[in-house]
Amino acid sequence: MKLWTANLDLENRTMNVVKRDGRSVRFDEDKIFQALKKASDKISPWSEAQQERIESVTDRVISEIFNRFHENVKIYEIQNIVEHELLEAEEIALAEEYVSYRTKRDFERKKATDINFTIEKLIQRDSTVVNENANKDSNVFNTQRDLTAGAVSKAIGLKMLPPHVANAHQKGDIHYHDLDYSPFTTMSNCCLIDFKNMFEKGFKLGNAQVDSPKSIQTATAQASQIIANVASSQYGGCSFDRADEVLAPYAKLNYAKHKRDADKWIETPEKREEYAKEKTAKDIYDAMQSLEYEINTLFTSNGQTPFVTVGFGLGTDWYAREIQKAMLKVRIKGLGSEHRTAIFPKLIFTLKRGLNLEVGTPNYDIKQLALECSTKRMYPDILSYDKIVELTGSFKASMGCRSFLQGWKDAQGNEVTAGRNNLGVVTVNLPRIALESRDSNGKAQFDKFWAIFNERISIAKDALLFRVERVKEAQPKNAPILFMNGALGRLKEQDSVDELYKNERATVSLGYIGLYEVATTFFGPIWENNPEAKAFTIEIVKRMHEDCEEWSKATGYHFSVYSTPSESLTDRFCRMDKEKFGSIPDITEKDYYTNSFHYDIRKNPTPFEKLDFEKDYPVYANGGFIHYCEYPMIQQNPKALEAVWDYAYDRIGYLGTNAPIDHCYACGFEGDFAPTEKGFKCPQCGNADPKTCDVVKRTCGYLGNPQARPMVHGRHSEISHRVKHMNGLVGSLANGQNIDSVLVDEKKSEYFVER
């Protein structure tokens, strides 16, 4: 119903709009109509008469633009014409509302780069600032100092970014992650630390030259110091991959020592062996317990516990097996006299066919221990060995919570995983694109969606290229632990850090959020079983993947699609879009956007159905992904969880367990705490004191303790809406029952019972 085209021959006319940031974009007349409609909605309810008035004004505005300008028109010139035509039409109230909105937007843009304003928000303890990271305790001095520095860095960083990138970030079209660190500094994101290299060759830390460890206890002590220093030299998570295999040689040194002692004092060979192994097993357990406590008591320079992930499960010798068992037993036991759940390190256990997946395989007993641990502590998450190789090109744990490196070989043809990193993330607000693609009748248009999509992806590309160029300006001496002492490499002071980034050695990530909301805009809220809707969402991720492949070939840096964790972004994007588009059922009304490709968390498919739905997305989003299933209390039924793990093995690469493990020390309740406006409380006695209750929820890729360290409103709302995946589950799987009969039909659901 474009009345404004009636009096002009626009078929062969083109017009470009010069934005404030200098970009030139294709003129879209519908944006004028939508801006006027939004202003009108603030005055009175929408009606047919109002639509005719708005269309009439829009018609005159378009005519004036095309009469006065030929190829290019500046954005402020369009705004001036709109205001003039509103006054000419005696639409005084509408003109006032339109001018008020434009003034407010200009003011908001200025505030975003105003250091005084950002510091004021911090002083006022604005929840969008102090609760942005659920791992930071904003009450302590070192975190407050980091938040203050971050506020300044963000304001300066926005001025450093290309104008169109900064503008897109401020408006909420994209999100330039970790602005409190980058681009103000040349820091990079997450990494896989090369512990093997550092242990074997030694390293320098502070004033000390550290030699190769001579025991398992020394190795884990060194590991905790390495983690603290790496976490202070970057802003993302860090991972200790294949920890059991890397630490095993140092446990073997303990065994050799105990064997020498036994040879002196014990007569029979059998008793010597028994003594040495018993002492070594105790050493291993103590070392793993020390590592757990050291990580949870560490504070990095930015005032938070290091985001640490430990991958394990592939070791087969006695030492590696004992390390695996000790990690799990320590986690099951919990921290302190109250046995609280440890938030860090995140544990990832690898399943592998022929090793531990099936009954009768060498490490099947450890899988059983991992299942027990996961039902009681939510960790470990699991990796499916063969699927990770298929999706990413080689096997490795994630960097941090979900970022994956692609397979990569050095000049000698050796497969390299550890000692590599990610250079940063930029996320595109997909739900906004969908909402902006609606016509004057509110119906989303596919052609318009793809046009806006391509524009936003282009901006994201420029943002990512800027990230790459900025991190290359770092010097090895800026972070010796990373660049000179083996965590990423062993460069000399005069070398370029680009040696560790170029030739696709490092990754840089194009993130996305809200595929559920995108499809809901086009197909309605119940679309998961609609093949056309799902194909559309897969096409979005596929096109992002194709763009990344093209950028990689052109630049020599590995761009990949990343399913953004969105801890605070699920709040920020939705909050900004709610302000821009209003409260829209199943989209902005919820106060959160759904993470990446995840099934709508308010629905309750079976775990099988959820995994079958989600498995197609990481094929393209292979630079970062994770799946979750929500369970009831399953501590007495680990076979139920094993059924899901086994079903997942050939379908997805990475799976997390979400189960109720909250504990009230006042009344003894154990299970799922009830959500309140800002936190959680014991459903039995109402206790909400973090000193006497332990509340553990899956924040995003990592666990969090929201009662002790609150999270942003959108994430809290999302957690509160999560539904257990129990619908349609019939019958039960008795504890200890063989699961083979359960999985005769892959879709069969006869295994769950809430106990």
What is the 3 state secondary structure string of 280-330? HHHHHHHHHHHHHHHHHHCCCCCCECCCEEEEECCCCCHHHHHHHHHHHHH
Q: What is the DSSP string of 213-275?
A: PSSHHHHHHHHHHHHHHHHTSSSS-EEETTHHHHHHHHHHHHHHHHHHHHHHH--SHHHHHHH
Query: Quick one: CA dihedral 39, 43, 46, 50, positive or negative?
Result: negative
Catalytic residue among 63, 189, 302, 566: 189
Q: Residue 747 — pLDDT band, cuts 50, 70, 90?
A: very low
Rounded to the nearest integer, the mean pLDDT of the chain is 88
- Residue 532 catalytic? no
Catalytic residue among 384, 422, 568, 637: 422
Catalytic residue among 419, 701, 704, 714: 701
- Residue 631 catalytic? no
pLDDT in tens, 358-386: 999 999 999 999 999 999 999 999 999 99
The pair of structure tokens assigned to 181 is 């660190």
Q: Which strands form 670-671's sheet, in the order they lie side by side?
A: 670-671, 662-664, 693-694
Catalytic residue among 198, 238, 399, 682: 399
pLDDT in tens, 7-31: 455 555 678 888 877 778 888 888 8
- Residue 190 catalytic? yes
- Residue 562 catalytic? yes
Comparing 704 with 368, which gets the higher pLDDT? Answer: 368
CATH 3.30.420.40 fits 173-189+417-626, yes or no: no
CA atoms within 13 A on the CB side of 655: 31
pLDDT given for residue 152 in this prediction? 80
Catalytic residue among 63, 135, 398, 403: 403
pLDDT given for residue 630 in this prediction? 94
Long-range contacts of 37-41 (CB under 8 A, 24+ apart): 37/440, 38/101, 39/94, 39/97, 39/98, 39/101, 40/94, 40/97, 41/582
Share of the chain above pLDDT 70, in %: 88
- Residue 665 catalytic? no
- Residue 189 catalytic? yes
Among residues 171, 152, 163, which one has the least CA distance to residue 114?
A: 152
Catalytic residue among 562, 599, 631, 702: 562
The pair of structure tokens assigned to 267 is 């007569």
Buried b (16+ CB within 10 A) or exposed e, 452-491: bbebbbebbbbbbbbbbebbbebebeebbbbbbbbbbbbb
pLDDT in tens, 211-268: 999 999 999 999 999 999 999 999 999 999 999 999 999 999 999 999 999 999 998 9
pLDDT given for residue 23 in this prediction? 76
Catalytic residue among 97, 292, 567, 630: 567
pLDDT in tens, 314-363: 999 999 999 999 999 999 999 999 999 999 999 999 999 999 999 999 99
- Residue 150 catalytic? no
Comparing 5 with 126, which gets the higher pLDDT? Answer: 126
pLDDT in tens, 159-194: 999 999 999 999 999 999 999 999 999 999 999 999
Contact 420, 505 (CB under 8 A): yes
Q: Residue 508 — pLDDT band, cuts 50, 70, 90?
A: very high
| pLDDT exceeds cutoff 90 at 730 | no
pLDDT given for residue 479 in this prediction? 96
Catalytic residue among 15, 378, 401, 682: 401
- Residue 567 catalytic? yes
Residues of the chain with CATH 3.20.70.20: 173-189+417-626
pLDDT in tens, 120-166: 655 566 655 545 555 555 565 566 666 666 778 888 899 999 999 99
Per-residue pLDDT, averaged over 631-642, amounts to 93
Peptide bond into 249 cis (omega under 30): no
Q: Residue 441 — pLDDT band, cuts 50, 70, 90?
A: confident
pLDDT given for residue 302 in this prediction? 59
Range scoring the smallest mean pLDDT among 90-99, 432-441, 601-610: 90-99
- Residue 153 catalytic? no
Catalytic residue among 131, 135, 182, 190: 190
pTM of the model: 0.86
pLDDT in tens, 45-87: 878 888 888 888 888 888 888 888 888 888 888 888 888 888 8
Say how many Å lie between the first and final Cα of the chain, rounded.
Answer: 59
Share of the chain above pLDDT 90, in %: 68
Peptide bond into 618 cis (omega under 30): no
